[in-house]
Every structure is written in structure tokens, then in C-alpha cells.
């Protein structure tokens, strides 16, 4: 990323700083998710996945395996996302 001259307009400098911060953050926390996330984002993603897994489980898997299995699986995925995402 090229350094901007001091005469560059403010919006360009803000973008440059934002991009640098994001790159720095991604270097510091190389999570496996394809987007930049903070802790709240990862908890939110885990919650969305938890609900999705439970609904799909109710529809397709429940005759074979109880819903508690879905809870365990989605909690495990959730913890993994929060820690490594």
C-alpha cells in the first residue's frame, strides 16, 4: 500500500488508516473466517449458526438423533468460532 502525501485529502488518509488497521488486525489475529470480526461478531455468528443447526436438525435429523446432539455440536462450533474465527 503506497504512502499518501501529506497533501492528500482527509477522506483518502482516513481510508488509508482504516485499511492499515484492518491489515494489522488480520496479521495479529489470523482467524479462519473470511471477514474481519471482533468478539461480538463472532458471538453473533455462533448464535446464528446455533439456531440454523437446530432448525435443520429438527427437520432432517431428529428421527435418528436427539436434539441435544445438535446443541452439543453447535456449542462446539460456537466456541471454535469465538476463539479462532
Partner 1 sequence: MRNPRVGWALLSPTLIILLIFGFAPFIYVLVVGFFDWNVFAAEDGLRFNGLDNFRRLVFDDLFLSSVGLTIRFAVFAIVSEIVLGFVLAQMLTRSFPGKSLFRIIHTFPLMVAPIAVGAIWRLLVIPGFGPVPFFLDRWLGLTYQIGTYPDQALMTSVLMDIWHWTPFVTLTMLAGLSSIPREPVEQAKVDGANRLQVFWYVTLPFLRPVLLTTVFIRIMDAIRTVDEVWMLAGGGPGTRFTGIYIWRVTSPAASADWGYGSSVSLITLYLTIVLCWLLFIAISGRRKGEVE
| Positions that interact with partner 1 (CB under 8 A) | 1, 9, 11-12, 15, 18-19, 22, 26, 34-36, 44, 48, 51-52, 54-55, 58-59, 62, 67
Cα(49)–Cα(31) distance, integer angstroms: 17
Nearer to partner 1, 11 or 83 (CB): 11
Alpha carbon distance 64, 55 (integer Å): 15
Q: Which three cell numbers stand for residue 15?
A: 481510508
The nearer residue to partner 1, 51 or 76, going by C-beta atoms, is 51
- Report the alpha-carbon distance of residue 52 to residue 58 in Å, rounded: 10
Least distance CB 84 / partner 1 (angstroms): 14
Amino acid at each position: 500500500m503506497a504512502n499518501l502525501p501529506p497533501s492528500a485529502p482527509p477522506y483518502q488518509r482516513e481510508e488509508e488508516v482504516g485499511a492499515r488497521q484492518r491489515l494489522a488486525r488480520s496479521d495479529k489475529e489470523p482467524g479462519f473466517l473470511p471477514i474481519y470480526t471482533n468478539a461480538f461478531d463472532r458471538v453473533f455468528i455462533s448464535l446464528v449458526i446455533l439456531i440454523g443447526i437446530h432448525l435443520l436438525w429438527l427437520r432432517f435429523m431428529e428421527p435418528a438423533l436427539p436434539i441435544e446432539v445438535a446443541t452439543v455440536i453447535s456449542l462446539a462450533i460456537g466456541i471454535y468460532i469465538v476463539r479462532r474465527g
